[in-house]
């Protein structure tokens, strides 16, 4: 039986815990006395507790993140009730700052803050030997990356076949965005590139196809970014998929030339933009060159097959509904395949708290500590934007309605502005007051749809795609007075893009004939749907 169990609750089964694999790899002589136990947040605390206790460990280490702190607190409470002598060690970003007052910290024996790759082994050695008692909170020094044992062999064949494989060529971020935990991770440190690429080679040989880089800013150091891209390009095979996080205003010509050479949909860039408002950028200490950003996004969309996933944040200090809307419209015009609208979260340790008083920032007290209201966005409007984000994900980011979406976003499409074809009457839906301040634009058009959809369905989750299609039809033809045949044809085209589907039936339209011969069924990936549409 292992003396040490390294456990964590992942956000979903498909996400393997990278942090635990580092700790396992660097346990040295204790490695044979340890095992990993990964769970996901939808498993019950009792089931998790039972599985951990089956190992009869002396020490359990938990990887703590914003997505698992509530459930892990229950697990630790159960473990301590059943086996009070069990030593519980916590680590990870959620317990690396503001440890005072956290329920789970009170329940645990030790907390190791920061990068614990090496420190965890040291602490376990001390606890399993007869060293002097250790303090409750132990700070890990930054580990020397060139001396760390590689974690990649701890991805099993099952991980490689069914889960996202996380990899990293560097740690830390030189930027100081106040909402982000990585702003505290200075300085930037790189893993030796040759050893890193050798590890990637082994993963490729073992059949890995999906590589998700967790480097905060992939395009920070040009020779390294180019070395990595060239490495994968030289070994390219069908089915490979690479994901990188990048800063949007740095894409020199040498990097552009390499990026152009990847096949469509094979590379995804997550581009953090967060806000287009200068004053807001200043408030959160984020520097970006908006002109270069626009030029780079245009390049990526027009000259490459890269899937661009751009992030905006709702609720930043100083950003109101209108300025957020203007930013959203600028981004829509730049045409990324996905716009991730995220609600601001107050992450433990981040300096954004300095704005709490001036901007009346109100965050939920429980994880994920989402913004509820600010000086510039009252709670009812924040709720509208939260729903906007959710519906945008379902309708736009999903890639399911790429033909219909432009009909919804086109400016000047309201019934009052373009007249009506005399179709169904609008429901008793009323526009919320702040709507009247917003000029017609993709943002205000989608916000109207989002308000209407919520007033009609009263929910934002568990909505069948057929229900969304009907909602789009009813809104566009009823509220916007669009031509019924045009909308039905667009929805039909979207529907048929996924082969093998039943015919789309829309209330208020005769059923369209089914296609003569269904095409072969392919894996329906979000990226693939966007690629087919553009
Ligand atoms: C992969 C990832 C995810 C995955 C989930 C992965 C999983 N296993 O389930 C997905 C994409 C789902 C995700 C989602 C979110 N994420 Co995320 N994510 C990451 C990311 C990019 C990589 C994590 C990683 O592997 N890092 C590399 C490893 C080596 O570092 P590490 O995990 O921190 O581990 C080290 C230490 O923490 C410590 N440690 C770890 N485990 C243990 C265990 C013990 C016992 C000890 C002693 C120490 C220890 O030692 C490790 C080695 O140095 C990080 C950013 C980053 N680059 O780290 C953000 C990050 C973890 N995510 C973050 C956030 C905010 C989110 C979201 C809320 C974002 C959003 N949507 O708004 C969501 C929440 C999801 C939900 N359901 O609620 C924050 C976390 C803040 C927090 N307090 O936890 C981070 C740090 C990003 C940031 N810069 O702000 N995320
Ligand atoms: S948001 Fe991105 S650029 Fe800013 S500190 Fe975080 S990781 Fe760095």
- What integer is the mean pLDDT of 118-145? 96
Cβ(182) to ligand 1 under 6 A?
yes
Smallest Cα–Cα separation from 409: which of 461, 365, 450, 360? 450
The neighbour count for residue 65, using CB atoms within 10 Å, is 21
* Distance between Cα 67 and ligand 1 center (Å): 9
Closest protein CA for atom 5 of ligand 2? 183
Does residue 355 surpass a pLDDT of 70? yes
DSSP element (H, E) containing 331: helix 321-334
Given a cut of 70, whether residue 356 has pLDDT beyond it is yes
Rounded to 10 degrees, what is the CA torsion of 368, 267, 407, 329?
Answer: 60
CB half-sphere exposure, 150, CA atoms < 13 A: 18
Share of the chain above pLDDT 70, in %: 91
> Ligand 1 centre and the CA of 121: distance in Å?
21
Residue 509: predicted pLDDT: 83
Q: How far apart are CA 342 and CA 326, in angstroms?
A: 16
- pTM exceeds cut of 0.75: yes
Burial class (CB in 10 A: 0-12, 13-18, 19+), 190: middle
CA 509 from chain centre, in angstroms, equals: 38
Cβ of 93 less than 6 Å from ligand 1: yes
Give the model's pLDDT for residue 418: 36
Q: Which ligand is nearest to the CA of 21?
A: 1
State if residue 180 touches ligand 2 by the CB under 6 angstroms criterion.
yes
Is a pLDDT exceeding 60 seen at residue 114? yes
State in Å: Cα 17 to ligand 1 middle: 9
Please tell me if the CB atom of residue 173 comes closer than 6 angstroms to any atom of ligand 2.
Answer: yes
- Whether 524 shows a pLDDT value over 50: the answer reads no
**Per-residue confidence band for 511, with pLDDT thresholds at 50, 70 and 90:** low
Kindly state if the Cβ of 179 falls inside 6 Å of ligand 2. Answer: no
Measured from the Cα of 180, ligand 2's closest atom is 6
216 Cα nearest atom in ligand 1: 57
Q: What angle do CA 44, 49, 50 make, to 5 degrees?
A: 100
pLDDT in tens, 27-85: 999 999 999 999 999 999 999 999 999 999 999 999 999 999 999 999 999 999 999 99
Mutate to test the pocket of ligand 2, among 168, 183, 187 (most ligand atoms within 8 A of CB): 183
Nearest CA to ligand 2 atom 4: 177
Which atom of ligand 1 is the closest one to the Cα of 340? 71
Mutation probe of ligand 1 site: the residue of 12, 214, 338, 344 with most atoms within 8 A of C-beta: 214
For a ligand 1 pocket test, name from 19, 35, 60, 217 the mutation site with the most ligand atoms within 8 angstroms of its C-beta: 19
- Ligand 1, atom 55, lies closest to the CA of 214
CA–centroid distance, residue 349 to ligand 2 (Å): 14
pLDDT at 369 over 60: yes
Helix (H), strand (E) at residue 318: none
Task: Give the mean pLDDT of the chain.
Answer: 92
* Ligand 2 centroid, distance to 218 Cα (angstroms): 11
Q: Model confidence over 132-189: pLDDT tens digits? A: 999 999 999 999 999 999 999 999 999 999 999 999 999 999 999 999 999 998 789 9
272 lines ligand 2 (CB under 6 A): yes
Nearest partner of 191 among 250, 150, 241, judged by Cα: 150
How many angstroms is it from 66 CA to the middle of ligand 1?
8
Backbone angles phi, psi at 371, to 5 degrees: -65, 135
pLDDT tens per residue across span 316-343: 999 999 999 999 999 999 999 999 999 9
d(CA 197, CA 224): 11
C-beta of 275 in contact with ligand 2 (< 6 A): no
Return all residues near 485 (Cβ < 8 A) that are at least 6 apart. Answer: none
Predicted confidence at residue 410, as pLDDT, reads 85
Q: Of all atoms in ligand 1, which is nearest to the CA of residue 343?
A: 72
SS3 assignment, position 79: helix
Give yes or no for residue 315 CB within 6 A of ligand 1. no
What distance in angstroms lies between residue 288's CA and the mean position of ligand 2's atoms?
11
Nearest ligand 2 atom, CA 274: 1
**413 has a pLDDT exceeding 80:** no
Which is the closest atom of ligand 1 to the Cα of 123? 47
Output 410 or 144, whichever has higher pLDDT.
144
Closest by Cα among 491, 493, 496, 494 to 506: 491
Q: Is the CB of 413 under 6 A from ligand 2?
A: no
d(CA 419, CA 85): 74
Lowest mean pLDDT among 28-37, 103-112, 182-191, 271-280: 182-191
pLDDT of residue 294: 95
CA distances to 176, 277, 338, 358 from 281, in Å:
11, 6, 22, 16
Q: Is 448 in the pocket of ligand 2 (CB under 6 A)?
A: no
Does ligand 2 have an atom closer than 6 angstroms to the CB of 243? no
Q: For ligand 2, atom 2, name the residue with the nearest CA.
A: 216
Q: What is the DSSP letter of 33?
A: G
CA torsion sign, 204 to 206 to 210 to 212? negative
């Amino acid at each position: 039986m292992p003396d040490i169990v390294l456990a964590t609750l992942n956000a979903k089964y498909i996400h393997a815990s990278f942090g635990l694999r580092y700790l396992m790899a660097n346990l040295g002589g204790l490695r044979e006395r340890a095992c990993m136990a990964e769970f996901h947040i939808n498993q019950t605390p009792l089931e998790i507790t039972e599985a951990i206790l089956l190992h009869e460990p002396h020490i359990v280490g938990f990887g703590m993140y914003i997505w698992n702190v509530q459930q892990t607190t229950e697990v630790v409470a159960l473990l301590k009730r059943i086996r009070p002598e069990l030593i519980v060690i916590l680590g990870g970003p959620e317990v690396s700052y503001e440890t005072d007052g956290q329920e789970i910290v009170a329940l645990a024996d030790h907390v190791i803050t920061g990068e614990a790759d090496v420190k965890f082994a040291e602490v376990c050695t001390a606890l399993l030997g007869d060293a002097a008692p250790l303090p409750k909170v132990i700070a890990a020094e930054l580990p020397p990356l060139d001396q760390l044992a590689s974690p990649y062999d701890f991805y099993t064949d099952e991980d490689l076949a069914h889960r996202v494989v996380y990899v990293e060529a560097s740690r830390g971020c030189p930027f100081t965005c106040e909402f982000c935990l990585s702003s505290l991770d200075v300085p930037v440190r790189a893993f030796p590139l040759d050893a890193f690429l050798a590890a990637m080679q082994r993963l490729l040989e073992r059949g890995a196809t999906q590589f998700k880089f967790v480097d905060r800013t992939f395009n920070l150091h040009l020779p390294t970014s180019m070395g990595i891209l060239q490495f994968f390009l030289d070994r390219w095979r069908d089915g490979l998929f690479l994901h990188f996080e990048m800063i949007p205003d740095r894409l020199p010509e040498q990097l552009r030339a390499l990026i152009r050479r990847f096949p469509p949909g094979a590379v995804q860039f997550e581009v953090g933009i967060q806000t287009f408002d200068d004053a807001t950028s200043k408030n959160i200490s984020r520097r970006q060159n908006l002109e270069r950003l626009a030029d780079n996004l245009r390049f990526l969309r027009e000259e490459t097959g890269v899937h661009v996933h751009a992030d905006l944040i709702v609720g930043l200090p100083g950003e109101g509904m209108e300025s957020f809307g203007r930013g959203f419209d600028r981004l829509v015009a730049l045409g990324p395949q996905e716009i991730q609208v995220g609600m601001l979260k107050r992450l433990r340790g981040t300096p954004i708290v300095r704005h709490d008083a001036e901007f009346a920032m109100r965050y939920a007290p429980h994880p994920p500590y989402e913004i509820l209201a600010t000086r510039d966005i009252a709670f009812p409007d924040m709720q509208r934007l939260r729903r906007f984000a959710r519906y945008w994900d379902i309708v736009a980011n999903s890639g399911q309605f790429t033909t219909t979406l432009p009909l919804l976003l086109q400016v000047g499409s309201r019934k009052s502005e373009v007249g009506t074809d005399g179709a169904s009457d609008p429901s008793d839906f009323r526009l919320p007051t702040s709507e009247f301040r917003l000029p017609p634009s993709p943002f205000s058009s989608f916000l109207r749809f989002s308000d209407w959809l919520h007033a009609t369905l009263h929910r934002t989750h568990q909505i069948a795609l057929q229900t969304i299609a009907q909602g789009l039809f009813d809104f566009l033809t009823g509220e916007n007075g669009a031509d019924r045949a045009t909308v039905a044809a667009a929805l039909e085209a979207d529907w048929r893009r996924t082969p093998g589907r039943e015919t789309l039936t829309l209330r208020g339209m005769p059923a369209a004939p089914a296609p003569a011969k269904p095409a072969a069924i392919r894996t329906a990936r979000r990226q693939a749907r966007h690629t087919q549409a553009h």
